[in-house]
Amino acid sequence: MRALWSCCLGIAFGAACAPAAINLPGFDSGGATSDAMSIDGTPIDAGDGGVIADGGAVVDAPVDTSTPLDVAADVPAPTPCNVAGDCVSPQVCLGQVCRTAARCTGSTMCPGQVCATALGYCVDCNSDRDCSAAQTCSNHACVARPLPCTSDRECSPMGQVCDAPSGRCVACNADGDCAAGRYCTAAHACAAQTCTPNQTSCVDLMRQQTCDARGAMSATAACPGGQTCRGGRCQPTTCTPGMTQCDPATHDRVTCNPDGVGTSPTPCPTGQSCRGGSCQVRVCVPGSTTCQDARTVRTCDADGLGTTAAACPAASSCAGGSCMGCTCTPGAATCADPSSHSTCNSDCLGATVTACPTPAHAMSPTCSGPGVCAFRCEAGYGDCNGLADDGCEVALATTAAHCGSCGNPCVAGSACAAGVCASGPSGERIFTTSGSFVVPAGVTAVSVVVVGAGGSFAFRVSTQGGQGGGGLCYRNDIPVSPGTSVPVVVGISPASGGSGGDSSFNGTLVARGGRATTVATGGAGGGGTGGTCFNGGVGGNASGYRNWGGGGGAAGYAGDGGRGGTGSSTMCLNDATAGRGGGGGGGGAAGSTVGSSDDISGSGGGVGLNGLGPNGAAGAPNCNTSRTCYGYGYPGGGGSGGSAGTGRGGTRPECGGTGISGLGGNYGGGGGIGRGGDGAVRIIWGPGRSFPNSAM
């Protein structure tokens, strides 16, 4: 209609109305460019009568008006298209608009048209003779031949512009010459936009398509690494597509979705769990427990691929996969019954019952007290070493060292037969520390000597007397019963000073310890009770500063011990006495005019345990005329085989001093300035053996 209006305008200005473009059904109205397309969607060749546009479009050109056309004013606007695929069947794209084309097998089926038998559609032409003289047939469409021009004015009546380089009227030189939604092609044809300018869309997950600013074409590009195309554009992924990982909540496997956003479950096979992104066979049942050891419970992890260990609480142990409170103390023993004992297991949850053993030559095993097994020996056998493992290891009937009972030896050279020594049971025990005497089999009487300990010096003042010697008692034919245990006490001279301890046998035969003194008067000698007893020697007195008295000697088997010498600063007193009746001699005194700290008195002599012997000699002072060494006391000698006091007063070798505070002799010697001798007990039995007989 616009072309006719342009023609009328030309008449108004006195111009002839030249043939104008006619709006055919399916072509662009208002003189706009129409892309001529074949029925099958292929571009139409405009030939000499038109300009081929992009996508097969041709520019609008004057058409032959000799054929009357009924142009209806209410014809609906056609649907634009570029290719046949843009139209909805049964329409096809022709002249850049969708229109219906009839099927045919011959031209008689196409009123006003001809049949393109090769295509099977009714078309405008098959050759130029089907078109007017001003048109040409291009791809079965009659199109106008382009008009020459030198300016847009010559083309504007037809709604076109002049293409100066070619000198012909064309539909457009730029996009602005085209209607909205169209663009100007390189062939100067207005073509429908193929896409929304600058709009993006997804070709697939990995490619984005971007429309250019003209809407003419789209460019496809791969998404950058770590991105996928979603929602029309490339976006960062949250995971690597196809990569598997483990769901921490379910411990099952999940796989990253193809778009890289989110995951989808890909469960592990039965009996497997996910770890490190892969399925692994479970090693335990999730949540189940077992005991790693007696004090540790092991729990299977939630994924079943490992375990976690935890210590049981105090006073509990693991059993059956659970921590349970202890029922006993590990290793503790009790009696399960009279002949077996029960020992608590290491897990403290139960005990093991074991019958009391019956070792060699033992009988009647019993359990008593805190699960202790004991046994009785068979007749004629004894457990002399006290070891339960070897049982009753000694044949008492024939063993000379244990004849008739454990600890009952025969005299040297005497055989043991039927539990009796050939010359009768004979033996001895010497105690230097307290203990118990078990009476051997066959022994019904013993002879005993006890010696008390000597007094021990403890510095209190600068003028102190000597310490008293220990007493001695003996008794023969003391009745005893085989197998009984008799208490034996041995007196000790205190290392820190004080009176000597008493020695005794069965609490009835007692020898007193020598008395200690902290004044100038010497300590008294010990006496005794319960037998034939003699007193230890009295410690010597002291007179003057550091003029110490000598220690008293131990008592003898037939007389008292020697008296300690008197300390003096005015004269060399040699008044210490020898022991009597085999007693120990008294120690020499100390005396000096200068009161030297080196003035040390002698200690008393001790007494032996083998019966009456020689008396112990008295200790003498060192009466040096130069008076430089005056007063150093010598120790008293031992009586009846006892040892003399040790050491010698003074630190000056030229005076004969040893620099040692003398100890009282063994046994029972009183201390001077030093510790006294300890006590002792000797027990003998056998034919003809008694005290004070010196026979061994």
Averaged confidence pLDDT in the chain: 80
- How does pLDDT run across 122-146, given as a tens digit for each residue? 988 999 899 988 887 867 888 777 7
Pairwise CA distance, residues 387 & 397, whole Å: 20
Instruction: Say which range, 236-245, 318-327, 458-467, 505-514, has the weakest mean pLDDT.
Output: 458-467
Judged against a pLDDT cut of 90, whether residue 476 lies above it is answered with: yes
* Stronger pLDDT, 637 or 256, i.e. the higher one: 256
Query: Is residue 4 helix, strand or coil?
Result: helix
* Stronger pLDDT, 422 or 653, i.e. the higher one: 422
- Looking at residue 586, its pLDDT comes to 67
* Stronger pLDDT, 465 or 72, i.e. the higher one: 465
Instruction: Say which range, 81-85, 196-200, 563-567, has the weakest mean pLDDT.
Output: 81-85
Structure tokens at 78: 């056609």
* Secondary structure string (H, E, C) spanning 288-344: CEEEEECCEEEEECCCCCCEEEEECCCCEEEECCEEEECCCCCCCEEEEECCEEEEE
DSSP label of 530 = S
- Looking at residue 56, its pLDDT comes to 35
Q: How far apart, in Å, are the Cα atoms of 315 and each of 299, 396, 638, 678, 689?
A: 20, 50, 64, 51, 63
* Stronger pLDDT, 597 or 668, i.e. the higher one: 668
Judged against a pLDDT cut of 90, whether residue 260 lies above it is answered with: no
Strands 289-293 and 296-300: antiparallel
- Looking at residue 21, its pLDDT comes to 34
Judged against a pLDDT cut of 50, whether residue 520 lies above it is answered with: yes
DSSP string, 461-500: SSS-PPPPPPPEEEEEEEE--TT-EEEEE-----TTSBPP
Q: Which of 142, 141, 177, 138 is nearest to 156 (CA)?
A: 177
- Looking at residue 678, its pLDDT comes to 94
Pairwise CA distance, residues 673 & 667, whole Å: 17
Instruction: Say which range, 107-116, 292-301, 329-338, has the weakest mean pLDDT.
Output: 329-338
CA 239 to chain centre: 37
Strands 621-622 and 532-534: unpaired
527 and 538 in contact (C-beta within 8 Å)? Answer: no
CA 97 to chain centre: 83
Q: Which of 224, 50, 211, 220 is nearest to 143 (CA)?
A: 50
- Looking at residue 90, its pLDDT comes to 75
Q: Which of 634, 690, 632 is nearest to 665 (CA)?
A: 634
- Looking at residue 538, its pLDDT comes to 95
How much is the average pLDDT of 352-362? 90
How much is the average pLDDT of 431-458? 92
- Looking at residue 144, its pLDDT comes to 77
Pairwise CA distance, residues 696 & 683, whole Å: 11
Q: How far apart, in Å, are the Cα atoms of 508 and each of 474, 502, 518, 552?
A: 11, 12, 30, 25
Among 117-121, 529-533, 543-547, the range of highest mean pLDDT: 529-533
* Stronger pLDDT, 447 or 596, i.e. the higher one: 447
Instruction: Say which range, 67-76, 278-287, 292-301, 360-369, has the weakest mean pLDDT.
Output: 67-76
The model's confidence at residue 57, banded by pLDDT at 50, 70 and 90, is very low
How much is the average pLDDT of 48-61? 36
Judged against a pLDDT cut of 50, whether residue 53 lies above it is answered with: no
One-letter amino acid of 189: A
How much is the average pLDDT of 183-194? 88
- How does pLDDT run across 205-220, given as a tens digit for each residue? 889 999 998 988 889 9
The model's confidence at residue 55, banded by pLDDT at 50, 70 and 90, is very low
- How does pLDDT run across 580-618, given as a tens digit for each residue? 987 777 666 665 544 444 566 778 889 999 899 899 888
The model's confidence at residue 683, banded by pLDDT at 50, 70 and 90, is very high
- Looking at residue 374, its pLDDT comes to 86
How much is the average pLDDT of 236-254? 88
- Looking at residue 94, its pLDDT comes to 64
- Looking at residue 89, its pLDDT comes to 77
- Looking at residue 74, its pLDDT comes to 52
Q: Which of 33, 9, 30, 34 is nearest to 153 (CA)?
A: 9
The model's confidence at residue 657, banded by pLDDT at 50, 70 and 90, is low
